[in-house]
Amino acid sequence: MIDNNILRQLMRKVNKSFYVYDEEEILKSINILKDKFKEFEILYSVKTNPNKNILNLMSKNNIGADAASAEEVQMSSTANINKDNIIYSAPGKRRKDIEKSIDKCIITADSYNELSLLNEIGKDRNIHLEVGLRINANYNIFGGDPISSKYGVDEETLLENKNFIDSLSNIKIVGVHVHLQSQILDYEIIYNYYEYVLKLALFCKEEMNFNLKFINFGGGLGISYGDSYKNLDIDKLSTMSNKLIEIYKEKLNARFIIEIGRFLVCKSGTYVTPIIDIKESRGTKYLIVQNGYNGFFKPTISELILFYTNKKDNLKMMEPLFTSYDSYTISLIKRENEEENHKEVVTIGGNLCTAVDILAKDILIAKAEINDLIFINNAGSYAYSLTPLLFSSQEKPVEIYFISEYEYLID
C-alpha cells in the first residue's frame, strides 16, 4: 500500500510532479474481474492509461487490449499481447492506420466506408480479412429513444446493407462490437444491455449470416469515486451475466468479451505535485503548485463546469472529461513527517499563464507551507492521458509504476 511516507520518499527521489500507479491495486481489480466474469474474456481499454508497465501487467495476466489507435495496437503488441487479443476499434481509421495494424490485431470497422476500405486492402494484398463491425445498437440503456452516434453503423441500417456487405469479396465480418456508455453503477442496466447485445448478435448471425467468432459488449463497469457514490454490485452482475451467457453460448458459439478501463486502474493512481509558492490576493490565499492542469486536467474541467453552472451536484457526466465534481479528493501532505491539524481555505493554481489553471477553488485543506505536497486520488484512469502537457513548455510529471517500497519503475 502506498502511504504518505512512500509519497514523500518518491518525491525526494524524482523531485517533480508525478503519477504513481500501485501494482497491487491493479492486480486486485484484475483478480476480481477474472474471478467473477468467468464466461467472459477481458480486454483492457488502453486509452484509459497507456502506461507501458500497466500494459505489461495486463499482458502477463492474460488480459487483452482494446486499442483505439494504430499506436495503441503497436504498444499492446510490444507488451506481448497476442494478435487475437488485441481489438482495434475507433472511428476515422486511415488506410495507413489499418495497414500498420493489420498483422497485429483484429480490426473492427466503424462504418460502411471502412468496410469498403478494408475490403480494398484485402484485395490489394490478395488476402481475406476477418473483421469486426461496431454497431450503434437500437437501444437506449436508460429507456427512451436510441441516440445518434458517431460510432459504428446504426443497427436498423444493417438489413438494407446486407447485399453490400455480402458483395465484399475479401472480408468477412466475424465479430460485433457495441459500447454505449461508461461508468454505469446499476447492475440491472448493464445486465439488460448485455441481454440486448446477445439478441443483436443472434440477429447478426441468423439474419445477416455473420459467421460470428466474437461478441464484444464494450465497457461500462462503473466505480465508486467517493462517499456520494454507490458501488456497482459486481457479484449480482457477474452471477446473472454468467448465467445469461450459458443460455446463449451454444447458439452463438463465440468469444464473449468485455473491455474495461477505469475499473481496472482508476483507484491505483495518485497524482502528486509540490507547492512552489504561496501568496495572497485580495483575501484569497493561493497555493501555486508545479503542475496544475498541465499535470492533471480533470479537476480544472470540474472547476470550469462549476463556474458556468454554479452547481456541484446532479451534473450530467461527460466522460472521460467530466465524471462528477467530487470524483477525486485533493489533500495535502507535509513535506516532512509532522502532522498538521490546522486547516485553511485556499485556492490551488498551477504554473501556467492562464487564469483557468486552477485545480481547486476555495477548498479547506491542511495549512500549507512551500514544498509541501498536494495529492489527488483516483488518478489512474483518464488522468495523465487526458492532460494537455505542452502549453508554456513546462516540465511534465513523471509516471512511477510502484511494485514495492524497494522496487518501482520511473518513466
Ligand X SMILES: Cc1ncc(COP(=O)(O)O)c(C=O)c1O
290 binds ligand X (CB under 6 A): no
| Torsion on CA atoms 376, 184, 68, 22, rounded to nearest 10 | 40
17 binds ligand X (CB under 6 A): no
Residue 22, judged by CB atoms within 10 A of its CB (0-12, 13-18, 19+), counts as buried
Minimal distance in Å, beta carbon 316 to ligand X? Answer: 16
State the pairing for strand pair 153-154/255-260.
unpaired
Which residue of 22, 25, 41, 66 would you call a contact of ligand X, by CB under 6 A? 66
**Subset of 382-401 contacting ligand X (CB under 6 A):** none
- The residue number whose beta carbon is nearest to ligand X equals 261
182 binds ligand X (CB under 6 A): yes
Nearer to ligand X, 79 or 221 (CB): 221
Minimal distance in Å, beta carbon 81 to ligand X? Answer: 16
Applying CB under 6 A, which part among 177-185, 201-209, 291-299, 370-378 lies near ligand X?
177-185
Helix (H) or strand (E) holding 97: helix 95-101
Which residue of 17, 45, 51, 268 would you call a contact of ligand X, by CB under 6 A? 45
Burial state string for 295-334 with b = 16 or more CB within 10 A and e = fewer than 16: bbbbbbbbbebeeeeeeeeeeeeeebebbbbebbebebbb
**Which DSSP string do the residues of 2-62 spell out, in sequence order?**
--HHHHHHHHHHH-S-EEEEEHHHHHHHHHHHHHH-TTSEEEEEGGG---HHHHHHHHHTT
72 binds ligand X (CB under 6 A): no
Which residue of 76, 101, 183, 351 would you call a contact of ligand X, by CB under 6 A? 183
Describe the crossing of helices 52-60 and 23-36 by its angle, rounded to 10 degrees: 40
- Residue at grid coordinates 502511504: 3
Minimal distance in Å, beta carbon 229 to ligand X? Answer: 14
Q: x/- site string to ligand X, residues 222 to 261, per CB under 6 A?
A: -------------------------------------xxx
136 binds ligand X (CB under 6 A): no
**Which residues contact ligand X by CB under 6 A?**
45, 48, 66, 179, 182-183, 218-221, 259-263, 320
